[in-house]
């Protein structure tokens, strides 16, 4: 049986969350007295949290990268933050401090800071790179992000072109997304991102994660079929294919099928034997 839940979600891929806090009894109480319909809504909300959290951290990483090119007139207003940096032959460390808040040209209000440490190993044939993005109470329109996003295993040719079989490791460590109402998700994730051998615009994603949902339920998750992220689709961080599944404390198992490669916002969430079609961006 399929139900159409278009519009119920404000997002759906990316809040995989670090395990803390509640014991089994507390988690049981979180669902005590809930109807099956209410449990279904909770399962659907988990899909929303996945997208909202990952998109927030990925957006912060992009802002930090653009900070290095601020003088070129990027997406952000140079006057919106104070930048401090230290450069050596093998490393770059810098901070974008937004202070008590400023408004970017695209209308977002940002507070807090982003701190980045990059390291390089350079030889005659290639360049290896690693980067740690520290989110220091980085706040965008009332959503606060804290924790680390770590990239390593990134290699380029000496001319900075991508190597054959280009890919990298992506980790999210102690990643916390606090919503404007004070609730939050927590996340730990270990993912591998590899460029598809037949299409350089598509990354194939494998790996696992664990964490806590916005209402406090622990979960562990895996990628059952490699996720595909198409950089040409224009939907930030949202896979266009693949299957992600999670075991959620007291709630049971859920899975998200991201489709067949089409650039759309529709996914299918399966919970308790029922499929729900969801617009994860609306």
pLDDT in tens, 196-246: 888 888 999 999 999 999 999 999 999 999 999 998 886 767 899 999 999
Average pLDDT over residues 107-123: 90
Average pLDDT over residues 88-95: 89
Residue 88 has pLDDT above 60, yes or no: yes
| pLDDT over 70, % of the chain | 82
Contact, 227 vs 267, CB < 8 A?
Answer: no
Backbone angles phi, psi at 164, to 5 degrees: -65, 140
Q: Determine the pLDDT at residue 150.
A: 96
Residue 172 has pLDDT above 90, yes or no: yes
Single out the residue of 203, 245, 265, 269 nearest to residue 39, CA to CA. 269
Residue 17 has pLDDT above 50, yes or no: no
Strands, E assignment, the chain:
2-4, 82-87, 91-103, 109-122, 126-140, 143-157, 167-178, 184-196, 199-212, 218-230, 241-248, 252-260, 266-271, 274-279
Q: Determine the pLDDT at residue 224.
A: 97
Highest mean pLDDT among 76-80, 101-105, 267-271: 267-271
The least confident of 31-45, 71-85, 198-212 is 71-85
Average pLDDT over residues 146-152: 96
Average pLDDT over residues 159-171: 76
Q: Do β-strands 167-178 and 266-271 pair in parallel, antiparallel, or remain unpaired?
A: unpaired
The least confident of 68-82, 133-147, 237-251, 255-269 is 68-82
Q: Determine the pLDDT at residue 6.
A: 33
Backbone angles phi, psi at 74, to 5 degrees: -85, -155
């Amino acid at each position: 049986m399929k139900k159409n839940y278009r519009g119920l979600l404000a997002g759906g891929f990316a809040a995989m969350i670090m395990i803390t806090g509640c014991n089994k009894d507390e988690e049981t109480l979180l669902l005590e007295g809930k109807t099956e319909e209410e449990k279904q809504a909770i399962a659907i909300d988990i899909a929303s949290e996945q997208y909202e959290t990952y998109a927030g951290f990925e957006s912060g990483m992009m802002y930090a990268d653009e900070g290095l090119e601020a003088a070129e007139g990027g997406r952000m207003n140079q006057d919106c933050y104070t930048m401090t940096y230290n450069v050596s032959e093998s490393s770059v460390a810098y901070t974008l401090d937004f202070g008590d808040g400023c408004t970017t040209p695209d209308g977002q209000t940002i507070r807090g800071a982003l701190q980045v440490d990059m390291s390089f190993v350079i030889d005659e044939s290639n360049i290896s790179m690693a980067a740690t993005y520290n989110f220091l109470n980085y706040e965008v329109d009332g959503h606060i992000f804290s924790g680390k996003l770590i990239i390593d295993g990134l290699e380029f040719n000496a001319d900075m072109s991508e190597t054959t079989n280009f890919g990298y490791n992506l980790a999210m460590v102690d990643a916390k997304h606090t919503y404007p109402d004070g609730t939050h998700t927590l996340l730990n994730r270990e993912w591998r991102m590899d460029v598809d051998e037949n299409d350089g615009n598509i990354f194939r994603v494998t790996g696992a994660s664990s964490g806590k949902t916005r209402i406090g339920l622990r979960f562990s998750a895996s990628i059952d079929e490699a996720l595909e992220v198409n950089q040409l689709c224009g939907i930030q961080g949202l896979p266009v294919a693949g299957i992600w599944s999670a075991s959620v404390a007291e709630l049971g198992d859920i899975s998200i099928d991201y489709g067949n490669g089409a650039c759309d916002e529709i996914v299918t969430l399966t919970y308790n034997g029922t499929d729900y079609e969801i617009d994860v961006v609306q």
